Amino acid sequence: MTPSHDPLQLWPAAVSATATETDLLILAFTVLTLLLTVPVFVAITYFAVRYREGSEANRSPSGIRSNLIEISWMLIPFLLTLIFFVWGARLYVHSKNPPPDAMVVEAIGRQWMWKFQHPTGQSEINNLHLPIGQPIRLHIISQDVIHALYLPAVRLQVAALPDRYTDLWFKADKVGTYHLYCSEYCGTDHSVMGGEVTFMNPGDYQDWLTHAGAQQGKVAAGRALYEAYGCAGCHEPGSAVKAPSLAGLYGSQVKLADGRTVTADEGWLREKILNPNGDRLAGGGKQMMPSFAGRIPADELTTLIDFLKSYASPAAGKAADATPAGATR
């Protein structure tokens, strides 16, 4: 399932009560905006025609007491808009106070991916699967710069700060798959830092956690790492840097520059990622790949290698997961 790709969508999907209420607030505010602006635009246009230089119009002073007008057109719009301050503030305070029974999902942002960990321990990268009908509290922090987690379908976002936790809570009541973004500019791949949030029935969610999700999620998470660490930028067919394709590499025989032939097994893949300058390939071009030693945590390295193991061909690599359009380059 992927988010709607309607070419001219004029209203985003709403999956929670907060989202629906926010929409109502925005609609009402738009009506007020029209009430305040349309008369000004009509008046300016009308005056521009009616009082053109040389037109026969009555220009005698109207004798209006200006102080009264001035005060009325200062106060009336102000008081009208204050209604919206109160309305918006109430909704905001509500959205800031999660119910105590909320299910807590940990979220970590970093250049350039989101990592989510479910209460039962499973984790996923860039994608997020959640049950409906259950308050969810995302507990968010960043490992490097300021990011922000943005879920348009629930009309909420909050910064991911490198030094303190922030929270976001909502209760979705509709199944479906929607966009998940980073909304605070965080460097080169800011616009591909994100994926999809999938809201599921509680039963399906439990299923996902215990069966398909954990397995499929691992490959998808590996693919996300493959992109987040920039592997895809060089090793995918069609990239500007002509690095060899990694599809089907696992388990194959590799010829090295020193004449040896080795099997590309788990250990060898691991070694090449951490120490790319060892084991030069036969007929290889200029060695450009940077070392990832110290840059990639052990658990992520395992996930990445798991993905490479399943990466039989480019087609299979794509089919093994539900990578969102926004995450591929």
Partner 1 sequence: MSASGSIGGTARREPHAPEATIGRKADYLHAESTLRSWFLTTDHKRIALLYLASITGFFVIGALAAGVVRLALIVPNGAIMANDTYNKAFTIHGVVMVWFFLIPSIPATFGNFLIPLMIGAKDLAFPKLNLTSWYVFMAGALFTLVSVVLGGVDTGWTFYAPLSTAFSNTWVLPALIGVTIVGFSPILTGLNFVVTIHTMRAPGMTWFKLPIFVWAHYATSLIFLLATPVITTALILLIMERAFHIGVFDPAYGGDPVLFQHLFWFYSHPAVYIMVLPGMGVISEIVPAFAQKKLFGYRFVAYASIGLASVTFFVWGHHMFVNGQSDLASLVFSALSFAVAVPSAVKVYNWTATIHKGALRLDTPMLYAMGYIGLFVLGGLTGLYLATLAINQHIHATYFVVAHFHYIMVGGTVLAFLGGLHFWWPKFTGRMYSEPWGRVSALLIFLGFNVTFFPQFILGYLGMPRRYATYPAEFQLLNVLSSAGATILAAGYLFPMLYLVYSLWFGRKAPANPWNAKGLEWETSSPPPTHNFLSPPEVPRIPYDYPIQAQESRDQHG
User: What is the four-CA torsion angle of 82, 86, 87, 88, rounded to 10 degrees?
Assistant: 90
Residues 225-284 that bind partner 1 (CB under 8 A): none
- Angle made by CA atoms 141, 146, 147, in degrees to the nearest 5: 75
Region from 66-74, 211-219, 269-277, 298-306 binding partner 1, contact rule CB under 8 A: 66-74
- Binding-site string for partner 1 from residue 288 to residue 317, where x marks contact by CB under 8 A and - marks none: ------------------------------
**Rounded Cα distance, 223 and 125, in Å:** 9
Q: Does residue 242 sit in helix, strand or coil?
A: coil
Q: Measured from the CB of residue 304, what is the shortest distance to partner 1 in angstroms?
A: 21
Residue choice 31, 293, 316, 325 for contact with partner 1 (CB under 8 A) = 325
Task: Find out whether 91 and 20 touch, Cβ atoms under 8 Å.
Answer: no
Q: How far is the CB of 69 from partner 1 (least distance, A)?
A: 8
Among 53, 101, 258, 299, binds partner 1 (CB under 8 A): 53
Closest CA to 154 of 9, 18, 23, 25: 18
- Measured distance CA(81)–CA(117) in Å, rounded: 41
| Of the residues 133, 187, 251, 278, which one makes contact with partner 1 according to CB under 8 A | 187
Enter the tokens of residue 303. Answer: 């996930």
Is residue 148 involved in binding partner 1 (CB under 8 A)?
yes
How far from 166 is each of 27, 95, 146, 222, 229, CA to CA, in Å? 29, 13, 12, 27, 25
**Complex with partner 1: residue 252 or 328, whichever CB lies closer:** 328
Contact range with partner 1 by CB under 8 A, out of 37-45, 267-275, 301-309, 315-323: 37-45
Which is nearest to 182 in space by CA: 160, 211, 206?
160
User: Among residues 54 and 100, whose Cβ is nearest to partner 1?
Assistant: 54
Stretch that binds partner 1, among 101-109, 116-124, 148-156, 314-322 (CB under 8 A): 148-156
Q: How far is the CB of 274 from partner 1 (least distance, A)?
A: 22
* CA dihedral (216, 217, 218, 220) positive or negative: positive
Least distance in Å: CB of 213 to partner 1? 24
Question: Burial, 21: exposed, middle or buried (Cβ in 10 Å; 0-12, 13-18, 19+)?
Answer: middle
Interior/surface letters 41-50, b for 16+ CB within 10 angstroms, e for the rest:
eeeeeeeeee
Q: Is 44 in the site for partner 1 (CB under 8 A)?
A: yes
Let me know: does 301 contact 275? Beta carbons within 8 Å: no
What residues from 152 to 181 belong to the interface with partner 1 (CB under 8 A)?
152, 155-159, 161-164, 166, 179, 181
100 binding partner 1? (CB under 8 A) = no
CB of 121 to partner 1, least distance (A): 27
Minimum CB separation of residue 139 from partner 1 in Å reads: 12
* Piece in contact with partner 1 (CB under 8 A), picked from 126-134, 214-222, 285-293, 320-328: 320-328
Going by C-alpha positions, the residue among 314, 48, 326, 309 that lies closest to residue 177 is 326
- Tell me: does residue 41 bind partner 1 (CB under 8 A): yes
What CA dihedral angle connects 177, 201, 228 and 106, to 10 degrees?
Answer: 130
57 binds partner 1 (CB under 8 A): yes
Q: Which of 66, 290, 298, 299 binds partner 1 (CB under 8 A)?
A: 66
Q: How far is the CB of 276 from partner 1 (least distance, A)?
A: 20
